[in-house]
């Protein structure tokens, strides 16, 4: 295949997952953190199969042959993806069995197998089986393929092969789905500090209890992944919530796109399952080790093994936020920029909670895409409505894999008299914005929060994201117009400062890139710096190529997918791309354009992908406040000096570790950002201790 101007989206994503797997194999990372990275790679692959591979399967099944921008047909992509995934799975289990398991065993953290147990341990597990497991799980006999039960997506399941009944020739089969809140790892009293056993091994040990008087020939764990790429006919639906509930049920019956099964499975059992599930060899993965590595995330947090985990980096209180002062007074004084998780998310939650209880607050308008299980923000919105405030929540029901939770939140908010909007027809609302309308002495004032991440205080401690809080009048006007457009029938208005997808964001980005291109052609300095999760959009990539050819220096920090080929002579020699995978998920979108020396800086909810720019409601927010503007540039600079976790994208799609200059100290960007946040917090505390604050009379005017 000739070299394309672009890298393939699916293969680029797999290279991202490889960078996560590299952290699992990195001996400089603590052992339980390495196990966590391994679990993340498995969880990532689960979603990849459900969505991306599922989509390719549909295209192939329906005979689509249209090539992607790299010239690959769906079948060619599926073939290459399968080959790459098989190598990745092999690398996963090599890492687990040759490095992690032995290393953890040396520390007393041991996975026990049935052959390792003594009589006392077997008796203890037998008691556990009789008391907890025997009655909980139910075997289902399968006499014919047509009677095969509807298995839950990615549910660990046991297949049992039994000897033929008297007078019959064919083996019989039964399946035992391990449903419910599965305690996968059973602690076993042993000479080790932490001995545990997988639940499927416990069941295998006592499988005869389920089949008294029968000859059990084989016990094999397996797991399926279904196509979860569902569609909703919004235009034909009078009730989107009901349509979404129906779509969730349809997802449970999606075609099987992957069968994972123990590599020791017999040919008879494998053929039985492949036929029953309609799975071909290409979609079958024989696994030499425990299935569902994603579930090992729970083990990584086991207490008592702190030496095998990262040292704590607690989020720091922001020096810009006085916890004794109302958030409205703080924001009125200065715009606030927070960089999570180095700085705490508390001010964002407090902003909304104060609004819920403040008698001067008239209205709250907020978008919600993904929230935590027990969201204090959703609780605050309910309380605000109960307190008589006008509360509007645009709750995106189509947020993939969070649909069920959002449906539940929508019903609860409606019960509290919150005006709930289920999103915009034909689009996903991915913008992160909250507007609070407050009555003050000088009149009505609007306070805004714009973010690059979800309103989720749990993930805010794990994802790097920007929060920008302001009462800028122009942004307030734009924010009101934005909500009027997405919650009613108002035509989108010309914004003063914001840009929104899908009505103008791509055009604005291309315009900003073209300004740099023109500056370079005129012999003027030109520079673009962008930190994103993904870069896929061909139109933007082409604009960057043109800028590079004009001489614009372009630095891209792309955590995940990147379809741009950097460093190609005559095409992209002025473009460099790096990716950072570390303890925090890099999630912030920050953009910088030199702009003839005026230095434009933006934050955004959108990655540079067709889905974000064409099929989602997104925001691009300029940050003009002098201090916040400078801070964002400083954050960007730190992200490009990493020589510990950064990897550079090569023109062939591979990645190479970034090396420091000779004699230079290695720098971890995340460690530096945490140290800077901690130092700023200490300096602010010292400043407070050296200030004298007089007590004044209650009626004092001075």
Res 235 pLDDT > 50: no
Res 339 pLDDT > 70: yes
Average pLDDT for residues 339-351, to the nearest whole number?
98
Q: 615: which residues sit within 8 A by CB, 6+ positions away?
A: 426, 427, 428, 502
Residues 606-646 have pLDDT tens digits of 999 999 999 999 999 999 999 999 999 999 999 999 999 99
- Give pLDDT, residue 548: 98
Q: 61: which residues sit within 8 A by CB, 6+ positions away?
A: none
27 SS3 class: coil
CA dihedral 355, 357, 359, 365 (to 10 degrees): 30
Confidence bin at 245 (pLDDT 50/70/90): low
Q: What secondary structure does DSSP assign to 140-190, as a single string?
A: EEESSGGG---PPTT--EEEEEEPPPTT--S-EEEEEE--SS---EEE--S
The edge-to-edge listing of strands for the beta sheet with 140-142 is 140-142, 172-177, 157-162, 216-226, 256-262, 284-287
Res 694 pLDDT > 80: no
pLDDT higher for 301 or 253?
301
339 contacts 673 by C-beta, under 8 angstroms: yes
- Give pLDDT, residue 559: 97
- Give pLDDT, residue 135: 87
The region of weakest confidence among 33-37, 98-102, 423-427, 640-644 is 423-427
| C-beta neighbour count of 207 within 10 angstroms | 19
Confidence bin at 695 (pLDDT 50/70/90): low
- Give pLDDT, residue 230: 54
Q: 176: which residues sit within 8 A by CB, 6+ positions away?
A: 137, 138, 139, 140, 157, 158, 160, 203, 210
Residues 586-609 have pLDDT tens digits of 999 999 999 999 999 999 999 999
**Positive or negative: CA dihedral 457, 461, 465, 469:** positive
Q: What distance in Å separates the CA atoms of residue 283 and residue 257, rounded to the nearest whole number?
A: 6
Confidence bin at 488 (pLDDT 50/70/90): confident
Confidence bin at 396 (pLDDT 50/70/90): confident
Residues 295-313 have pLDDT tens digits of 999 999 898 999 999 999 9
Known catalytic residues? 430
Residue 644 burial by CB count (10 A; 0-12/13-18/19+): exposed, middle or buried? middle
pLDDT higher for 686 or 110?
110
187: which strand partners? 196
pLDDT higher for 370 or 224?
224
Confidence bin at 371 (pLDDT 50/70/90): confident
Average pLDDT for residues 373-398, to the nearest whole number?
91
Res 143 pLDDT > 90: no
576 contacts 549 by C-beta, under 8 angstroms: no
Q: Which CATH number fits the domain 327-497, given the four candidates 3.40.605.10, 3.30.870.10, 3.30.470.10, 3.40.50.450?
A: 3.30.870.10
Average pLDDT for residues 447-463, to the nearest whole number?
96
Question: Percent of the chain beyond pLDDT 70?
Answer: 92
Q: What distance in Å separates the CA atoms of residue 17 and residue 5, rounded to the nearest whole number?
A: 22
Write the CATH number of the domain with boundaries 9-308: 3.30.1840.10
- Give pLDDT, residue 81: 96
- Give pLDDT, residue 661: 84
Domain boundaries, the chain: 9-308, 327-497, 501-685
CA 259 to chain centre: 24
Res 101 pLDDT > 90: yes
Write the CATH number of the domain with boundaries 501-685: 3.30.870.10
Res 92 pLDDT > 50: yes
- Give pLDDT, residue 655: 97
CA 251 to chain centre: 20
CA 322 to chain centre: 31
Res 115 pLDDT > 80: yes
Q: Report the mean per-residue pLDDT for the chain.
A: 91
- Give pLDDT, residue 236: 43
59 contacts 74 by C-beta, under 8 angstroms: yes
Q: What distance in Å separates the CA atoms of residue 197 and residue 681, rounded to the nearest whole number?
A: 44
Average pLDDT for residues 167-186, to the nearest whole number?
88
Spell out the alpha helix ranges (H) of 568-660: 610-614, 626-639
Q: HSE of 428 in the Cβ direction (CA atoms, 13 Å)?
A: 18
pLDDT higher for 401 or 359?
359
One fold for 9-308 and 327-497: no
Average pLDDT for residues 498-520, to the nearest whole number?
97
Q: What distance in Å separates the CA atoms of residue 531 and residue 227, rounded to the nearest whole number?
A: 31
Q: Which helix (H) or strand (E) holds 108?
A: none
- Give pLDDT, residue 700: 47
Question: Percent of the chain beyond pLDDT 90?
Answer: 77
Res 267 pLDDT > 50: yes
- Give pLDDT, residue 421: 86
Average pLDDT for residues 10-17, to the nearest whole number?
97
Q: What secondary structure does DSSP assign to 521-579, as a single string?
A: HTT---EEEEEES-B--HHHHHHHHHHHHHT-EEEEEESS-B-B-TT-TTTTTTEEEEE
525 contacts 597 by C-beta, under 8 angstroms: yes
Residues 536-584 have pLDDT tens digits of 999 999 999 999 999 999 999 999 999 999 999 999 999 999 999 999 9
């Amino acid at each position: 295949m000739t070299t394309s101007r672009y890298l393939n989206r699916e293969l680029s994503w797999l290279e991202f997952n490889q960078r996560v797997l590299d952290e699992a194999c990195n001996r400089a990372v603590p052992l339980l953190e390495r196990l966590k990275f391994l679990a993340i790679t498995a969880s990532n692959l689960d979603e990849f199969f459900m969505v991306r591979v599922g989509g390719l399967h549909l295209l192939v099944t329906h005979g689509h042959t249209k090539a992607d921008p790299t010239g690959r047909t769906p079948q060619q992509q599926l073939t290459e993806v399968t080959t790459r995934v098989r190598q990745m799975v092999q690398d996963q289990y090599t890492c687990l069995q040759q490095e992690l398991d032995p290393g953890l065993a040396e520390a007393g953290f041991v996975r026990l197998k049935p052959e390792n147990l003594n009589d006392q341990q077997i008796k203890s597990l037998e008691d556990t089986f009789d008391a907890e497991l025997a009655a909980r799980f139910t075997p289902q006999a399968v006499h014919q393929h047509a009677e095969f039960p509807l298995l839950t997506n990615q549910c660990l399941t046991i297949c049992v092969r039994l000897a033929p009944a008297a007078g019959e020739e064919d083996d019989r089969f039964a399946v035992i789905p391990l449903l419910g809140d599965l305690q996968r790892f059973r602690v076993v009293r042993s000479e080790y500090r932490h001995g545990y056993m997988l639940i499927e091994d416990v069941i295998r040990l006592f499988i005869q209890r389920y089949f008294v008087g029968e000859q059990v020939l084989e016990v094999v764990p397996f797991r399926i992944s279904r196509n979860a790429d569902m569609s909703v006919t919004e235009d034909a639906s009078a009730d989107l919530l009901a349509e979404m509930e129906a779509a969730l049920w349809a997802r449970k019956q999606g075609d099987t796109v992957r069968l994972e099964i123990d590599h020791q499975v017999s040919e008879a059992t494998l053929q039985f399952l492949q036929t029953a599930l309609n799975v071909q060899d290409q979609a079958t993965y024989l696994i030499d080790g425990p299935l569902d590595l994603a579930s090992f995330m729970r083990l990584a947090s086991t207490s008592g093994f702190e030496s095998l985990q990262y040292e704590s980096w607690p989020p720091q209180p922001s020096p810009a936020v006085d916890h004794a002062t109302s958030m409205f007074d703080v924001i009125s004084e200065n715009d606030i920029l927070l960089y999570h998780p180095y700085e705490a998310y508390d001010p964002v939650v407090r902003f909304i909670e104060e609004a819920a209880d403040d008698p001067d607050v008239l209205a709250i308008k907020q978008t919600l895409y993904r929230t935590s299980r027990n969201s204090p923000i959703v609780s605050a919105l309910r309380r605000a409505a109960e307190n008589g405030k006008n509360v509007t929540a645009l709750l995106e029901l189509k947020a993939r894999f969070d649909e069920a939770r959002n449906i539940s939140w929508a019903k609860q908010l409606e019960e509290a008299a919150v005006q709930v909007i289920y999103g915009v027809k034909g689009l996903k609302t991915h913008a992160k914005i909250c507007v609070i309308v407050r009555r003050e002495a000088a009149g009505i004032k609007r306070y805004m929060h714009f973010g690059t991440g979800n309103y989720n205080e749990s993930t805010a401690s794990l994802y790097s994201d920007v929060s920008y809080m302001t009462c800028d009048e122009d942004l307030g006007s734009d924010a009101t117009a934005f909500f009027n457009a997405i919650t009613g029938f108002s035509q989108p208005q010309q914004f003063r400062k914001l840009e929104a997808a899908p009505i103008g964001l791509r055009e604005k980005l291309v315009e900003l890139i073209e300004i740099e291109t023109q500056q370079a052609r005129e012999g003027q300095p030109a520079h673009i710096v962008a930190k994103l999760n993904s870069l896929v959009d061909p139109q933007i990539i082409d604009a960057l190529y043109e800028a590079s050819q004009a001489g614009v220096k372009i630095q891209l920090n792309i955590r995940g997918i990147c379809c741009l080929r950097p460093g190609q002579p005559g095409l992209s020699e002025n473009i460099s791309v790096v990716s950072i995978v570390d303890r925090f998920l890099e999630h912030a979108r920050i953009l910088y354009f030199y702009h003839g020396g005026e230095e434009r800086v933006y934050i955004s909810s959108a990655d540079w992908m067709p889905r974000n720019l064409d099929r989602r409601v997104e925001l691009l927010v300029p940050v003009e406040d002098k201090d916040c503007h400078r801070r964002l540039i400083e954050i960007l600079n730190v992200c490009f000096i990493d020589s510990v976790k950064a990897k550079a994208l090569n023109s062939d799609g591979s990645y190479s570790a970034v090396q420091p200059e000779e004699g230079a100290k290695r720098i971890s960007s995340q460690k530096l950002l945490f140290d800077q946040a901690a130092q700023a917090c200490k300096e602010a505390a010292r400043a407070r201790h050296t200030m004298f604050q007089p007590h004044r009379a209650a009626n004092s005017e001075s």
